[in-house]
């Protein structure tokens, strides 16, 4: 009976969280032509380098999730492709950059961390959310791809850019597990059905609370790119 009661209480908590997340959902979209922009594309020290920026990806719903203690994550994925006409296009290189932002209610401040492949994590803290949003939507570091000499000067190239805004992340799921005390403390006594249900519901809610923007840049020839000083 105890296991049954524990399972029922667990499911009620999951359902309550689920209703909040579904009604506050920021469901998937894909149009981004006017939201994601390549602001610099050129050659720096012999390498193909680009910079980008985004528009209003921090909607009111995203800010609301953040203010209620949810971790918000923004992932950029930028691919350099060679256009090959009637044949399959060729992927040359890919770069990824991610930002994770949290609100600390006691200190009343926002903490944002930037992750970029093998580089060290960079953190910024501010009580003004707008400043951190600008840091996220206008990355201040150039994305370095391949040496220009590796590219075919007669071919055209383009970038495929994906921006994922996640308002229910793996970090949130871990926090929810801790918050639902019985699930963490009584895991051995909780039925496998309850654990499976928790995972299924969390996976569903995670997918419901993501926005993904994708865009293809204009095509360019390496020989037409300007040389950059920095």
70 contacts 82 by C-beta, under 8 angstroms: no
- The per-residue pLDDT for 166 is 86
Ramachandran angles phi, psi of 194, nearest 5°:
-65, -45
Same domain, 200 and 214: no
In a domain, residue 229? The reply is: no
Domain tally for the chain?
Answer: 2
> Nearest-CA neighbor of 198 among 2, 3, 4, 18?
18
Same domain, 121 and 100: yes
Cα torsion 145, 149, 150, 153: sign: positive
Instruction: Identify the band that residue 229 occupies on the pLDDT scale cut at 50, 70 and 90.
Output: confident
Q: What is the mean pLDDT of residues 9-15?
A: 50
- The per-residue pLDDT for 167 is 80
Same domain, 192 and 163: no
- How much is the pTM? 0.74
Determine the distance from the C-alpha atom of residue 127 to the mean position of all C-alpha atoms in its chain, rounded to a whole number.
22
Q: Write the pLDDT tens digit of every residue in 90-133.
A: 999 999 999 999 988 888 899 999 998 767 689 999 999 999 99
- Kindly report the average pLDDT of the chain as a whole number: 78
Give Cα separations from 4 to 18, 95, 184, 187 (angstroms). 21, 48, 16, 13
Same domain, 73 and 120: yes
Same domain, 53 and 104: yes
Q: What is the mean pLDDT of residues 154-170?
A: 87
The pLDDT of residue 80 is above 70: yes
In a domain, residue 63? The reply is: yes
- The per-residue pLDDT for 46 is 94
Task: Count CB neighbours of 190 within 10 A.
Answer: 18
Determine what percent of the chain is predicted with pLDDT higher than 90: 43
Same domain, 204 and 214: no
* Lowest-confidence segment of 26-30, 178-182, 216-220 by average pLDDT: 26-30
In a domain, residue 152? The reply is: yes
Q: What is the mean pLDDT of residues 190-198?
A: 53
Same domain, 106 and 2: no
Same domain, 216 and 202: no
- The per-residue pLDDT for 132 is 95
- The per-residue pLDDT for 210 is 77
Q: Write the pLDDT tens digit of every residue in 24-53.
A: 444 444 455 678 999 999 999 999 999 999
Determine the distance from the C-alpha atom of residue 167 to the mean position of all C-alpha atoms in its chain, rounded to a whole number.
9
Ramachandran angles phi, psi of 41, nearest 5°:
-150, 115
Same domain, 112 and 193: no
Instruction: Name every residue whose Cβ is closer than 8 Å to that of residue 56 and which is 6 or more positions away in sequence.
Output: 35
- The per-residue pLDDT for 91 is 94
Q: Write the pLDDT tens digit of every residue in 52-70.
A: 999 989 988 888 888 877 8
In a domain, residue 175? The reply is: no
What domain range includes position 101? 31-168+210-224
Q: What is the dihedral of CA 65, 66, 70, 72, to 10 degrees?
A: 100
The pLDDT of residue 146 is above 90: yes
Instruction: Name every residue whose Cβ is closer than 8 Å to that of residue 23 and which is 6 or more positions away in sequence.
Output: none
């Amino acid at each position: 009976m105890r296991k049954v009661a524990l399972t029922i209480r667990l499911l009620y908590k999951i359902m309550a969280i689920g209703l909040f997340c579904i009604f506050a959902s920021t469901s998937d979209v894909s149009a981004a032509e006017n939201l994601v922009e390549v602001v610099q594309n050129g050659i720096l020290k012999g390498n193909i380098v680009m910079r980008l920026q985004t528009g209003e990806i921090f909607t009111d719903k995203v800010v609301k999730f953040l203010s209620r203690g949810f971790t918000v994550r923004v992932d950029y994925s930028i691919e350099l492709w060679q256009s090959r006409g009637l044949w399959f296009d060729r992927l040359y290189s890919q770069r990824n950059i991610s930002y994770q932002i949290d609100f600390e209610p006691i200190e009343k401040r926002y903490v944002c961390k930037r992750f970029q492949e093998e580089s060290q994590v960079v953190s910024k803290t501010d009580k003004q959310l707008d400043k951190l949003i600008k840091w996220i939507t206008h990355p201040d570091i150039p994305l370095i791809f391949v040496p220009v000499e590796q590219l075919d000067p007669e071919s055209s190239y383009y970038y495929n850019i994906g921006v994922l805004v996640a308002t229910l992340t793996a970090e949130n799921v871990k926090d929810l597990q801790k918050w639902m005390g019985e699930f963490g403390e009584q895991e051995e006594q909780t039925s496998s059905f309850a654990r499976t249900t928790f995972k299924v519901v969390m996976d569903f809610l995670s997918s419901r609370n993501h926005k993904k923007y994708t865009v293809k840049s204009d095509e360019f020839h390496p020989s037409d790119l300007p040389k950059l000083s920095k």
